[in-house]
Amino acid sequence: MKDTTGLDMKTINNLPGRHRVGKIWRGGFFLSTILGVFFLVILLFKIVNDSFGYIVTEYGLSPNALAVNGVPVWDLPKQDLILFLQENVSPGRFKTLMKAQPLEQRSQKEINAIIIQEIVKPKVAQTWSLTESLFQKQEIEAIARENYPDGELSFKAWVNWDFITSPQSSDPLYAGIRTAILGSLLLLVVAITFSLPIGLGAAIYLEEFATDNWLNRLIKTNINNLAGVPSIIYGILGLAIFVRLWEPITSGAFLGGVNVATLNGRTILSGGLTLGLLILPVIIINSQEALRSVPYTIREASYGVGATKWQTIWNHVLPNSIPGIMTGAILAFSRAFGETAPLVVIGASTYIVYDPGSVFSKFTALPIQIYQWTSRPQDEFRNLAAASIIVLLVLLLGMNALAIFLRNRYRRSY
Amino acid sequence: MTESFQQASLLLKSKKASRAGRTRRPGEAIIVAFLFLCGIFSIFITIAIIFELTKEALLFFQDPNVTLWSFLTGLVWQPKINQFGVVPLLTATMVTSMIAMMVAIPLGLMIAIYLSEYASQKIKGAIKPVMEVLAGIPTVVYGFFALTFITPMLRGVFGSDVVQIYNMAAAGLAMGILILPLIASMSEDALSAVPRSLREAGYSLGSTKFEVAIRIVVPAAISGISAACLLGISRAIGETMIVALAAGAGPNLTLNPFQSAETMTGYMVRISGGDLSYDSMDYNSIFAIGLLLFVVTFVLNIISQRIVRHFREVYE
């Protein structure tokens, strides 16, 4: 005999068996959940593991051999150091160094650093991960002695203050992410200025003014669809419109003055506008939810004392929903901050040494830098990528923490 | 009643209130017009996307070497020798997305069932932030993870002569982890929305907790779960950075997940990464592929939304 669920009486009466099956599955559900947590742990572990560890550096010239008349250069006064530098680098290179900042004005420590970079010329020969460095120290030392007799083994934290404050460089030992961080921040500023007012305006319209007609239904459906459009589509839209069609504006050529021939539209302005379009639907949806959470009684009370609709919105609905709006907006900004594909498509430059000066500058961004370094085959660039990921994740974590703080600090329950 | 209301409103009429006036101030019409423009702006974005993609894609199809038919059915994508068949890019997209869904759907669903049916509030409070963090990590980080962790692991397990340095399996697995939180949280919402009375009815008929979860709650929430899966598939198809980093550069018609192959999105990133000259065949081709991508994800999203709306009507 079978019932509608397809179980026969024998199975149904076997209660211990049914409970056993239930227990096994319960274990399976629990393990899946643990597995999800495990993925996050292993991801973070991998990134930290690659950001620290032993490296072997080999020198073009041994730093201990550098001496003038028997005195090691590191003991020389500043004036002699500059002379030494002048004698040992090409005249053109010396001029460039002087141009960046006259050597006399630099500190002893800075000049020492320049001597190491220009004359000693250290190169990374091999790198190890953090776990290897911790648990296989002897083996690493043996390998270093055997394969790189002239090399120096040292422990390096790839993510450090110099890394954050130095500009991009093709040499992994001196490469930094300052230009990338500044680029990312400027992009975010442009994206926010563009998308926050429009997004908030759209949310207010949809929640407070829109009646239930076909146009407003279309707008709502459309916003939901836009939120699901792949980010790379926004990238090619930005390429076609901001970079190409609006080139006179986004390149800054309409301001005149600068050499128009070298300008193109692949600037921070284009990138920021593209990111703005990308997060606009998210901002609208989140703001709508925040506005919806303000109870109708507050509006009624405001109308009751004779306020107009806009006065009600401006003086009561918005102040009450601003924490929710900000929380949603910050989450949208953090999405823009980590977005890579659209920026690659609109043509973010990968090798930018100078800080972006204005919204019309060419730029690189933190995720772009990570993408570039990850795609290089050498290990030391993977280490740089891991170090940049740590910086990116810390910045994102900061933004999210701010969002959660705002939500908890200003949340009101009605 | 009207009289007392009028009296009350007279009493309330302070100087400020009377200045504000009872009728709408003329300035408000401007504000409302501005808000309406903001609202309608999103429609312009969609129009711009469709218009630009179609315009450039039409230029692509005007080339004598390309027809819509040869584009959709051609087995070779070699722009250098004027072969523009999108099938190799499509199969790579399908293989990576399928691997991703094979990870994300079963795991995501099991996590959702655990969280909605079994977990205490305390465990829920601990797991949900983890899922939010996983969902918030930028995709380029998953790309790094796929290339520097999953690929070496796969090569260690299956042998480096079987698994290529760039392969679709690593990209698919990383994408699965990326989509997992989306499916888990959307399915959990769907499961939690099933009314408690249905569960109680199940228990009263003598079902065990597991039988209630699998035979009553999951079927009742199936529309929400399938909407989550469709949205996940659409995310996987449009995902870019993971495949650009880990799946390989260069179209390759293969279903072997351990080989390298370029997906539609991977191709778009690689071609536009360099200094792309306008009106070239390369430039136009990314718009043609972009249009295809847009149409596919758009249809999936619409179906998913329809299902969600239907599902809402059932229980609210």
The CA–CA distances, whole Å, from A157 to A42, A134, A154, A160, B193 equal 20, 13, 10, 6, 48
Both A215 and A332 in one domain: the answer is yes
Residue A25 placed within a domain: no
Domains of chain B: 88-315 (1.10.3720.10)
Q: Which residues of B touch A187 (CB under 8 A)?
A: none
- Which amino acid is residue B236, in one-letter code? A
> pLDDT tens-digit profile of A250-303?
777 777 655 555 567 788 899 999 999 999 999 999 999 999 989 999 999 999
A374 to chain B, closest Cα gap in Å: 6
- CB contact, 8 Å: A223 with chain B? yes
Going by C-alpha positions, the residue among B298, B304, B265, B306 that lies closest to residue B183 is B304
> pLDDT tens-digit profile of B13-28?
444 444 444 455 778 8
Both A142 and A182 in one domain: the answer is no
Q: Taking 70 as the threshold, does the pLDDT of residue B311 lie above it? A: no
Q: Please tell me the distance from the alpha carbon of residue A187 to that of residue A363, in angstroms, as a whole number.
A: 9
The CA–CA distances, whole Å, from A344 to A121, A367, A371 equal 32, 10, 9
The residue with tokens 């890579």 is: A340
Both A210 and A95 in one domain: the answer is no
Long-range contacts of B62-66, Cβ-Cβ distance < 8 Å, separation of 24 or more: B63/B281, B63/B284
Both A118 and A246 in one domain: the answer is no
Q: Can you give the residue range of the structural domain that contains A214?
A: 178-410
Residue A171 placed within a domain: no
Q: What pLDDT does B243 receive?
A: 94
Q: What's chain A's average pLDDT?
A: 85
Q: What's chain B's average pLDDT?
A: 87
> pLDDT tens-digit profile of B37-95?
999 999 999 999 999 999 989 988 888 888 888 888 888 888 888 888 899 999 999 99
Going by C-alpha positions, the residue among B265, B287, B260 that lies closest to residue B276 is B287
Q: Which of B12, B19, B42 to mutate to test the interface with A (most CBs of A within 10 A)?
A: B42
Q: Which of A3, A43, A200, A220 to mutate to test the interface with B (most CBs of B within 10 A)?
A: A43
Both A381 and A311 in one domain: the answer is yes
- CB contact, 8 Å: A303 with chain B? no
Residue A112 placed within a domain: yes
Q: Which residues of A touch B110 (CB under 8 A)?
A: 28-29, 32-33
The CA–CA distances, whole Å, from A148 to A58, A62, A64, A116, A203 equal 7, 13, 17, 19, 63
DSSP codes of every residue in A226-264: HHTS-HHHHHHHHIIIIIIITHHHHTSGGG--S-GGG--
Residue A81 placed within a domain: yes
Residue A39 placed within a domain: no
Q: What pLDDT does A175 receive?
A: 85
CATH code assigned at A375: 1.10.3720.10
Both A212 and A143 in one domain: the answer is no
Both A251 and A358 in one domain: the answer is yes
**What tokens were used for B16?**
């400020």
Q: What pLDDT does A336 receive?
A: 93
Q: Taking 60 as the threshold, does the pLDDT of residue B169 lie above it? A: yes
Burial label for B26, CB within 10 Å (0-12, 13-18, 19+), is exposed
Q: What pLDDT does A45 receive?
A: 94
Which of A126, A157, A188 represents a domain boundary (last residue)? A157
Mean pLDDT of B243-258: 90
Which residues are CB-contacts of B6 (< 8 A; sequence separation ≥ 6)?
A: none
Going by C-alpha positions, the residue among B181, B196, B190, B184 that lies closest to residue B219 is B190
The residue with tokens 């290990």 is: A379
Q: Which residue has the higher pLDDT, B235 or A119?
A: B235
Q: Taking 90 as the threshold, does the pLDDT of residue B99 lie above it? A: yes
B300 to chain A, closest Cα gap in Å: 9
Q: Which residues of B touch A335 (CB under 8 A)?
A: 136
- Which amino acid is residue B262, in one-letter code? E
Both A363 and A226 in one domain: the answer is yes
Q: What pLDDT does B24 receive?
A: 58
Q: Which residue has the higher pLDDT, B245 or A249?
A: B245
Q: Enter the pTM of the model.
A: 0.88
Q: Which residues of B touch A42 (CB under 8 A)?
A: 149
Cα dihedral angle (A66, A70, A73, A74), rounded to 10 degrees? 110
Low-confidence ranges of chain A (pLDDT < 50): 1-2
Both A314 and A357 in one domain: the answer is yes
Residue A17 placed within a domain: no
Both A195 and A303 in one domain: the answer is yes
Q: Please tell me the distance from the alpha carbon of residue A327 to that of residue A338, in angstroms, as a whole number.
A: 17
How many independent structural domains does chain A possess?
A: 2
Q: Which residues of A touch B127 (CB under 8 A)?
A: 33, 36-37
Residue A134 placed within a domain: yes
B280 to chain A, closest Cα gap in Å: 13
> pLDDT tens-digit profile of B137-154?
999 999 999 999 999 999
Mean pLDDT of B179-185: 94
Q: What pLDDT does B6 receive?
A: 55
A217 to chain B, closest Cα gap in Å: 11
Q: What pLDDT does B276 receive?
A: 72
Q: What pLDDT does A92 receive?
A: 76
A386–B301 C-beta distance less than 8 A: no
User: Three-class SS of residue B294?
Assistant: helix
Which residues are CB-contacts of A250 (< 8 A; sequence separation ≥ 6)?
A: A242, A243, A265, A267, A269, A270, A273, A360
Q: What pLDDT does B16 receive?
A: 44
Which residues are CB-contacts of A173 (< 8 A; sequence separation ≥ 6)?
A: A57, A122, A123, A124, A380
Q: What pLDDT does B47 receive?
A: 94
By the 8 A CB rule, do A309 and B233 touch? no
Q: What pLDDT does B304 receive?
A: 87
Both A182 and A256 in one domain: the answer is yes
Q: Is B13 left (phi over 0), alpha (psi -120 to 50) or beta?
A: beta
> pLDDT tens-digit profile of A177-230?
998 999 999 999 999 999 999 999 999 999 999 888 899 999 999 999 999 899
Q: What pLDDT does A280 receive?
A: 95
Q: What pLDDT does B3 receive?
A: 54
Q: What pLDDT does B108 receive?
A: 96
Residue A375 placed within a domain: yes
Q: Please tell me the distance from the alpha carbon of residue A10 to that of residue A112, in angstroms, as a whole number.
A: 86
Q: Which residues of A touch B185 (CB under 8 A)?
A: none
- CB contact, 8 Å: A198 with chain B? yes
Both A307 and A221 in one domain: the answer is yes
DSSP codes of every residue in B228-276: HHHHHHHHHHH--HHHHHHT-SS------TTS----HHHHHHHHHHS-P
Q: Taking 80 as the threshold, does the pLDDT of residue B10 lie above it? A: no
